[in-house]
Structure 1
Amino acid sequence: MSTKFPQKIHIIGSVGSGKTTLAKELSEKLNNPYYELDNVVWIRQNSGDIRRADRQKVNYLQNIILTKAWIIEGVHNEEWVAQSFSNADLIIFLNTNYYIRSYRIIKRFTLQKLGLEKSNYKPSFSIFIKMFKWNRHFEEIGKPNFYHKYGMYRDKLIVVSSKREIL
């Protein structure tokens, strides 16, 4: 990749779209740190995750955004992440096929339950079911909401269905 590649990148997509995989690969290629928005929302502890207060997560995200280079990935497009979209040099929308995402949810859960894939959360059946709900919600509400709220950034937005279109 050329040195002209953007240094502040926000990746958005649904559960199972490939956000984290793309963020890790770009992080390695660009030598830029990547951050998962879920880890901005949650304080990860062995005894169980604790949700950060709204002010805490906004401050945490602001501290990331103030650095010279970052890759932020997540499904979130609520107001608290607006500063990430506005400060990004590049926004990558992973518009992966709904059925591919559903397959990946099943595959991820199976691998996590078998201990073959690490997760930031306890892979419970309850979370598994929620992922399908979140996937549908993103398709029906999250995606249109993103375009409505952040369409003003179309000059720095690329929409791809696969990381192969970028790497």
Structure 2
Amino acid sequence: MKKTIYKKIHIIGSVGSGKTTLAKEISSLLGIPYYELDNVVWIRNKSGDIRRTEQEREEYLNSILQSDNWIIEGIHNEDWVSNCFQSADLIIFLDTNYLVRTYRIIKRFLKQKLRIEKANYKPTLDIFFKMFKWNRHFEEVGKVNFFNKYVVHKDKIKVINNAKCIKKYFN
């Protein structure tokens, strides 16, 4: 049996689903750089994040997509990321349990406030509560939209409920 080599991987899931952790693990295992879509949307700055213009965002994303290999992770499934799904060899949809994600959001916020975990953003109460909103929206709307919109890529989508399941694809 021929082993499939994935060079372009897109990981999608809700807040707290484990996207970044999985992207880092696969990146380390395969030696492929990973990118967070949030950092494509935002220019990270110590004095505060600045949203990229649509053109800047598109140019930055296209520069990543033109690379020979990449892992892209994020919650986004809007039209501006459709080329990511089209270009990917593998799309991992992290369908982590809603309550597990909720727990992780709380745990992450506490760790960030205690400076145990680094954040790409300032961990404010406003962001904390927005994460619950985004988590609920993804569960009720984002998940359905993704599968309706990207059904054309069903042959390369792997739905994963936990990180243990994905390791079999890379071992």
TM-score, length of structure 2 as denominator length: 0.95
- When the two chains are superposed, the root-mean-square deviation of aligned CA atoms in Å is 1.0
Determine the structure 1 residue equivalent to 2:8.
Answer: 8
Equivalent-residue separation in structure 1 for 2:84 and 2:78 (angstroms):
11
Deviates more, 1:50-59 or 1:12-21: 50-59
Specify every segment of 5 or more residues in structure 1 that has no aligned partner in the other structure, as ranges: none
| CA distances 1:91-143 after superposition (whole Å, capped 9, x unpaired) | 00000000000000000000000000001000000000000000000001100
2:66 alignment partner in structure 1? 66
Structure 2 gaps, min length 5: none
Partner of 1:89: 89
Structure 2: how far apart are the matches of 1:82 and 1:38?
15
Q: What is the distance in 1 between the residues matched to 2:60 and 2:49? A: 16
Structure 1 runs of 4+ with >4 Å offset: none
Q: Distance in 2 between matches of 1:19 and 1:75?
A: 9
Distance, in Å, in 1 between the alignment partners of 2:5 and 2:20 is: 19
Q: Which residue of 2 aligns with 1:129?
A: 129
Name the % identity.
61
1: distance between equivalents of 2:165 and 2:23? Answer: 14
Kindly indicate whether residue 165 of structure 2 is the aligned counterpart of residue 165 of structure 1.
yes
- Distance, in Å, in 2 between the alignment partners of 1:5 and 1:42 is 31
Paired residues in the alignment total 166
TM-score under structure 1 normalisation?
A: 0.98
Specify the SS of the correspondent of 1:143. Answer: helix
Matches within 5 A, 1:1-167: 4-167=4-167
Matched AA of 1:14: S
